[in-house]
Amino acid sequence: MLSMISLSSAAQDLIARQAPSDKHLKDVRNIKINGRTLTSSSSDLMNPAADIYSDWKNSGVANAAGHVPANYTIDLTGFAMPTPSRKVTSNFGQRWGRLHAGLDIKVYIGDTIRSAFDGKVRITQYQASGYGYYVVIRHPNGLETVYGHLSKIIAKENQIVRAGEVIGLGGNTGRSTGSHLHFETRLCGTPINPALMFDFENQDVVSNSFVYHGGAITRSSSVASKNAKKVEADNAKRNAEVAENTSEENIQSQTPAEEVQTTVATARQSKKQTKRQTTKKKQETAYSVKDGDNLYNIAKKYNTTVDKLCKLNGIKESAPIRKGQKIKTS
């Protein structure tokens, strides 16, 4: 009996040493010890992230009542990439005058779409003017993930799903101009740039965890839709400021201190000069004829040919031109 106990203990130690240390923890769930399959606890999946969410409703992507403390840490281990596609076709941020609250990933109609983490399906609906067929899943780490423009929904509302489990098929439904997956990450309804957590190009998460520094926010179902536009605008403004600061920080990190000011000033001056040159070029595309002008000297002035001028202006080479007449040059 002692020998059997010792063997069992040694076997467990061996399994522990050989278990993968990668962030993908879902592969460890099916290890068998003494004939018993070990699985992660599903108790927290019945009411995921109950410490920050105060309700559960099967409608409204941003309609997620709750309270998020400052510097909230989101655990990103145990993830699965929603799709093996590595091509991001549209990023998070302002687009067409409004916030694009997620990433667009190139997929084809019928491609498999999977849950990013363990969780519980909150919404499976169709929205003709937006997401098309879409799924929203709430996860124990506090995130809600959104999967839009699906051709088919496989998951059911209130269903518990595991990371990597198929929840739908890629498509082109709703407000979409081509087949792709619209993928969002939200915290109590507030959109967070998925690229801060998911690296689709390398099919990995950026790190083991992500700390949300948005400060304490409180959202309730009654004010969620009212504040949604303000929250989105604030997020977009912060993202723009971060991008601008990062650009200048990169210049400073690669340039000696005494040259930083000159480098930044030169870059800004170059940008202004390019803009002036572009404006001047646009203004000069139509030439106003002066006394003594003819098609030949106009063509020579703009480094073109009389034949091209005639085609641009719909005139013949023998046609007379008069003072003040506008001649297109490009």
Question: Which pLDDT tens digit goes with each residue over 160-210?
Answer: 999 999 999 999 999 998 999 999 999 999 999 999 999 999 999 999 999
Tokens standing for residue 215: 């400060």
Q: Which amino acid, residue 132?
A: G
Region of poorest pLDDT, from 240-254, 271-285, 286-300: 240-254
> 159 with 308, same domain?
no
Burial of 157: CB neighbours in 10 Å, binned 0-12, 13-18, 19+:
middle
Residue-level pLDDT at 173: 97
The model's pTM: 0.58
Q: Are residues 302 and 169 in the same domain?
A: no
In the chain, the number of structural domains is: 4
Burial class of residue 138, CB neighbours in 10 A (0-12, 13-18, 19+)? buried
Is residue 137 included in any domain, yes or no? Answer: yes
| C-alpha span between 207 and 194 (Å, rounded) | 12
**pLDDT at position 15:** 42
List, for residues 107-149, the tens digit of each pLDDT value.
999 999 999 999 999 999 999 999 999 999 999 999 999 999 9
144 in the same domain as 34: no
Do the domain assignments include residue 52?
Answer: no
Q: Are 84 and 147 part of one and the same domain?
A: yes
Mean pLDDT, the chain, integer: 76
- Per mean pLDDT, which range of 25-29, 105-109, 152-156 is the poorest? 25-29
pLDDT-based confidence at residue 276 (cuts at 50, 70, 90)? low
| 147 phi/psi in degrees, rounded to 5 | -125, 110
Based on the fold, state whether residues 31 and 152 are members of the same structural domain.
Answer: no
Question: What span, in angstroms and rounded, lies between the C-alpha atoms of 250 and 255?
Answer: 9
Range of the domain at 322: 286-328
Instruction: Report d(CA 167, CA 152) in Å as an integer.
Output: 9
Q: Are residues 76 and 195 in the same domain?
A: yes
The answer as to whether 8 is a domain residue is: yes
Report yes or no on 56 lying in a domain. Answer: no
The CATH number assigned to the domain holding 314 equals 3.10.350.10
Reported as type and span, the H/E element at residue 228 is helix 221-254
The reply to whether 238 and 320 lie within a common domain is no
